[in-house]
């Protein structure tokens, strides 16, 4: 009986771990694309019509055009932008996934700010894509992310 339980736990850990890796891939690709100033990798992470927003200190929500964001990031040199994340939570229901990632942002090797990203992803033609991102930005009470 103990062997059966161990096999079931191992199998479920493997399956769910693989599932999360598929969901996390576009999130990780986005930040790798930013770090490498690679517009094609960044574009590949997003669904058509994706939405990008930030919450300002005063609570207002600012919209940013995804294509303009990618063009802006692409103008930097490789290694200038380094957003280090920790994936704290992944939730799924069918073709919908939610990923929450606290982060620390470094510009040319120096700490700039921190916050959290909330991603909504959709599964389209067997690939997960980012449909929506909203983030916070602050300079205090930052969690060190390496």
Domain coordinates in residue numbering, the chain: 2-136
Q: Are 45 and 27 in contact (CB under 8 A)?
A: yes
Confidence of residue 27 (pLDDT cuts 50, 70, 90): very high
Q: Are 90 and 96 in contact (CB under 8 A)?
A: no
The three-class DSSP label of residue 104 is: strand
pLDDT top residue among 76 and 8: 76
Q: Which residues pair with 115 in a beta bridge?
A: 103
φ/ψ (deg, to 5) at 109: 85, -5
Of 13 and 69, more confident: 69
Determine the pLDDT at residue 12. 40
CA 35, CA 142: separation in Å to the nearest integer?
Answer: 20
What is this structure's pTM? Answer: 0.85
Whole-number pLDDT of residue 145: 84
> Has residue 10 got a pLDDT over 90?
no
**Which tens digit of pLDDT belongs to each residue from 58-115?**
999 999 999 999 999 999 999 999 999 999 999 999 999 999 999 999 999 999 999 9
Range in 4-8, 76-80, 124-128 with the lowest mean pLDDT: 4-8
Domain 2-136 = CATH 3.20.20.70 = no
């Amino acid at each position: 009986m103990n062997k059966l339980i161990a096999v079931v736990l191992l199998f479920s850990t493997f399956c769910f771990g693989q599932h999360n890796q598929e969901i996390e891939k576009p999130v990780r690709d986005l930040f790798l694309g930013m770090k490498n100033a690679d517009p094609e990798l960044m574009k590949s992470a997003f669904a058509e019509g994706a939405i990008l927003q930030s919450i300002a200190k005063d609570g207002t929500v600012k919209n940013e055009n995804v294509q303009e964001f990618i063009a802006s990031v692409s103008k930097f040199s490789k290694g200038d932008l380094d957003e280090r994340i920790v994936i704290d939570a992944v939730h799924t229901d069918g073709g919908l996934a939610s990923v929450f990632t606290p982060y620390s942002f470094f510009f040319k090797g120096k700490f700039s700010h921190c916050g959290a990203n909330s991603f909504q992803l959709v599964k389209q033609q067997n690939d997960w894509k980012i449909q929506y991102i909203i983030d916070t930005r602050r300079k205090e009470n930052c969690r060190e992310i390496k």
